[in-house]
Amino acid sequence: MNTTTKGVVRGITANLLEIRPSGPVRQNEICYVSSDGASLMGEVIKIIGETAYVQIFDTTRGLSEGAEVTFTGERIEVTLGPGMLGKRYDGLQNDLEKFEGVFLQRGQQSAPLDDDSKWGFRPLAKAGDAVRAGDWLGELSENGLPHRVMVPFRWEGSFTVRDIVPEGTYGIHDTIARLEDEQGVVREVTMVQKWPAKQTLTVYREKHRPHKLMETGVRIFDTMYPMLEGGTGFIPGPFGCGKTVMQQALAKQADADVVIVAACGERANEVVEIFTEFPELKDSRTGRPLIDRTIIIANTSSMPVAAREASVYTAMSLAEFYRNMGLRVLLLADSTSRWAQALREMANRLEDLPGPDAFPMDLSATIAQFYSRAGTVTLHNGQQGAVTFIGTVSPAGGNFKEPVTESTRKAARCFYALNQRRADSKRYPAVDPLESYSKYLDYPEFAESLAQSVGSDWITNAKTLQNLLIRGKEAADQINILGDDGVSLENHIDFWRSELIDFVLLQQDAFDEIDQLAPLERQRRMSRLVLEICQMPIPFENYTEVRPYFSKVINTLRQMNYSRWESDEFNNYHQELSRILAEKATEMAV
């Protein structure tokens, strides 16, 4: 490792510097450039001959030719340890809370962990145990979650535990164990370790196919296009169609132990919303404030572009860290297009040969590599952990035929396409039910797991609903071409069945206190009701009767959605529904 290489700035174009180093430099190595008393952090992104090209994570105003550079020998690293839950970081894991003043300052840095914090530690390993990277040495309780202190991920080979501290309270930098390697060298372990953010963490036994539903309380996910623990998905959509609202609903409601939200090049007010609301909202499963299980990486759109690129890797590394403790982590990134744009800005400055839409040629591979870091794994000790990853994509002009959407489609298993027309007519969430998919519906291991939990009809119901929606769409097309009189009565009924599914199951008001969260039991009941009505033979006399009938049915079911589960109100609407259905049935019998 070299820590002595220095350098001199030779060229400046925006935040790209050309640096002449005095000794060896590594690709992706971090360096610091001194400018007016501040020390600006940068990353080597290309080395050509005598010149290292460095992107600076800050503005370069005031920098001049000849400025001094110090190379660190390290790549971008995250610091991992207890106390990250509830924190608000920037893309380089600076703790934003520790910065003073209203405005961010140049060259500012702050410690990711609270260096003098103390935790109640309980050993899990004992002297003499054979261990290797990632193995659990002990645990502590972080906001009610079991936080495992592990053998540092970067340590290669196998070790023997020489000694470990007894149960007690320790500082994060205290030595809690000493390990001896095969050569007899003794190394000390604290609660803190570092990891290069862009490197995939693989200190587990194996990765397998996801099989378990990740409950979200969002009907279009759970009932129609389920997401699994350790699964991947993405939400592309034109601006204003509901990507962020959807992700925030998932951040609030999804059944996960840890939620990491990476606000990557999006609006500051959106993270402020999380900062403001999450401490107030309760996690319905644990009863604790939501912020206790959440980490926010806020590299908003006006923050330095290069740090935006780093922010998604920072977030992923934290997610992998908690996965290795046997926890289920949900990682959300909004928006991965901004990350891709950061790559594009830098590639352009480097004058690299541009690919489609001026994005770098290797965009597809970069995206695929990132998504591949998600997954369910079995750790060396047999425990399981998962990182579920859902990103948003913001396609230029709202057109899905563009490089980021197309590359992500190849990498992610679930596709939640937001549709402008649905958003325009306020049919929220504006997920297009026909274009979207969850490939997990075809996983036999998922079907098996569902059969043991919510029932084996879950997947068949999802598929039936999809078919009814397709029939409804075809009927709507027919009606549009031939007019109301020009099509059969059956077409009208098909169309209204799909409207019923749309209004009662697909649409869900993210801002209604009750409607926003539908537990699985409630989803099952409502989708069965809807399916029953769809399968009921209702021989109308004339197409003009179809709309009033379905309007009434839809309205009553929507009132049920707005009522507290199994409250009197809810039950009354249910009875009213039965009355409407029965009335129609007798009317027909007469």
Partner 1 sequence: MEINPFAKRYHHLRDITRATCTLDAPGAHNEELAIVGGRLAQVVRVKGQSVTLQIFSGTEGLSNDAEVLFLGRYPDMPIGDQLLGRFLNAYAEPLDGLPPVEGQRISLGGPSANPVRRAQPFEPILTGLPGIDLNNTLVGGQKIPFFADPDQPYNEVMATVALRARADKIILGGMGLSYDDYLYYRDTFRQAGVLDRIVAFVNTTQDQPVERLLIPELALAAAEHFAITNNEKVLVLLTDMTLYADALSIVANRMDQIPSKDSMPGSLYSDLARIYEKSLQLPAGGGSITILAVTTLNQGDITHAIPDNTGYITEGQLFLRKDTDTGKIIIDPFRSLSRLKQLVIGKKTREDHPQIMNTAIRLYADAAEARSKKENGFDLTDYDVRAIRFARDYTEQILSIDVNLEMDAILDRLWRILAAHFTREEVSVKEQLIRKYWPD
Q: With respect to Mg ion, which residue has the nearer C-beta, 21 or 236?
A: 236
CA distance 566 to 186: 62
Three-state secondary-structure class, residue 546: helix
Phi, psi of 10 (to 5 degrees): -110, -30
Residue numbers 105-124 binding partner 1 by CB under 8 A: 105-106
CA distance 332 to 261: 5
For partner 1, the binding residue among 49, 157, 511, 586 (CB under 8 A) is 511
Q: Give the single-character DSSP code of 224.
A: I
Residue identified by tokens 């997947």 is 459
423's tokens: 């958003």
- Enumerate residues 6+ apart whose C-beta is below 8 A from 10: 18, 19, 20, 51, 65
Q: How far is the CB of 265 from Mg ion (least distance, A)?
A: 10
Q: With respect to partner 1, which residue has the nearer C-beta, 456 or 578?
A: 578
Number of residues lying near ligand ATP (CB under 6 A): 16
- Enumerate residues 6+ apart whose C-beta is below 8 A from 495: 472, 475, 476, 479
- Enumerate residues 6+ apart whose C-beta is below 8 A from 499: 472, 550, 554
For partner 1, the binding residue among 42, 82, 83, 265 (CB under 8 A) is 265
- Enumerate residues 6+ apart whose C-beta is below 8 A from 371: 232, 389, 391, 408, 411, 412
Whether the link from the prior residue into 403 is cis, omega within 30° of 0, is no
Contact call for residue 217 and ligand ATP (CB under 6 A): no
* Residue 242 interacting partner from ligand ATP, Mg ion, partner 1, none (CB closer than 5 to 8 Å by kind): ligand ATP
- Enumerate residues 6+ apart whose C-beta is below 8 A from 323: 329, 377, 385, 386, 387
235's tokens: 């939400």
Q: Give the single-character DSSP code of 545.
A: G
For ligand ATP, the binding residue among 360, 429, 433, 472 (CB under 6 A) is 429
Q: With respect to ligand ATP, which residue has the nearer C-beta, 50 or 273?
A: 273
Contact in structure between 66 and 9 (CB atoms under 8 Å) = yes
Nearest to 86 by CA among 289, 386, 299: 289
Site string for ligand ATP, 264-303 (x = CB under 6 A): --x-------------------------------------
Q: How far is the CB of 221 from ligand ATP (least distance, A)?
A: 12
Residue numbers 462-501 binding ligand ATP by CB under 6 A: none
Q: With respect to ligand ATP, which residue has the nearer C-beta, 242 or 385?
A: 242
Residue numbers 392-421 binding ligand ATP by CB under 6 A: 394
Contact in structure between 176 and 137 (CB atoms under 8 Å) = yes
CA distance 419 to 77: 38
* Residue 551 interacting partner from ligand ATP, Mg ion, partner 1, none (CB closer than 5 to 8 Å by kind): partner 1
Q: With respect to partner 1, which residue has the nearer C-beta, 213 or 262?
A: 262
Contact call for residue 560 and partner 1 (CB under 8 A): no
The alpha-helical segments, DSSP class H, found in 158-231 are: 219
Tell me the window of 195-203, 240-248, 413-421, 464-472 that interacts with Mg ion (CB under 5 A): 240-248
Contact call for residue 239 and ligand ATP (CB under 6 A): yes
Number of residues lying near partner 1 (CB under 8 A): 75
Q: With respect to partner 1, which residue has the nearer C-beta, 473 or 558?
A: 558
Contact call for residue 237 and partner 1 (CB under 8 A): no
Three-state secondary-structure class, residue 584: helix
Contact call for residue 243 and ligand ATP (CB under 6 A): yes
CA distance 207 to 374: 10
Q: With respect to Mg ion, which residue has the nearer C-beta, 336 or 563?
A: 336
Q: Give the single-character DSSP code of 366.
A: H
Q: How far is the CB of 245 from partner 1 (least distance, A)?
A: 9
- Enumerate residues 6+ apart whose C-beta is below 8 A from 305: 15, 265, 342, 345, 346
Site string for partner 1, 52-81 (x = CB under 8 A): -------xxxxxxxx---------------
Q: With respect to partner 1, which residue has the nearer C-beta, 185 or 353?
A: 353
Phi, psi of 55 (to 5 degrees): -95, 130
Helix (H), strand (E) at residue 256: none
Q: How far is the CB of 487 from partner 1 (least distance, A)?
A: 11
Q: With respect to partner 1, which residue has the nearer C-beta, 115 or 273?
A: 273
* Residue 103 interacting partner from partner 1, Mg ion, ligand ATP, none (CB closer than 5 to 8 Å by kind): partner 1
Contact call for residue 275 and partner 1 (CB under 8 A): yes
Tell me the window of 119-127, 223-231, 240-248, 409-417 that interacts with ligand ATP (CB under 6 A): 240-248
Contact in structure between 414 and 440 (CB atoms under 8 Å) = yes
Residue numbers 500-529 binding ligand ATP by CB under 6 A: 508-511
- Enumerate residues 6+ apart whose C-beta is below 8 A from 339: 264, 265, 308, 309, 311, 312, 333
For partner 1, the binding residue among 166, 382, 397, 537 (CB under 8 A) is 397
For ligand ATP, the binding residue among 53, 153, 428, 458 (CB under 6 A) is 428
447's tokens: 């079907």
Residue numbers 479-498 binding partner 1 by CB under 8 A: 480, 483-486
Tell me the window of 238-246, 341-349, 435-443, 476-484 that interacts with Mg ion (CB under 5 A): 238-246
Q: How far is the CB of 280 from ligand ATP (least distance, A)?
A: 19
Contact call for residue 244 and Mg ion (CB under 5 A): yes
Tell me the window of 239-247, 398-406, 499-507, 580-588 that interacts with Mg ion (CB under 5 A): 239-247
Q: With respect to ligand ATP, which residue has the nearer C-beta, 341 or 508?
A: 508
For partner 1, the binding residue among 48, 182, 287, 426 (CB under 8 A) is 426
Residue identified by tokens 């991920």 is 153
CA distance 450 to 353: 48
Nearest to 23 by CA among 74, 76, 69: 69
Q: What's the Cα-to-Cα distance from 324 to each of 126, 170, 557, rounded to whole Å?
A: 20, 22, 44
Site residues, ligand ATP (CB under 6 A): 237, 239-245, 266, 394, 428-429, 508-511
Site residues, Mg ion (CB under 5 A): 243-244
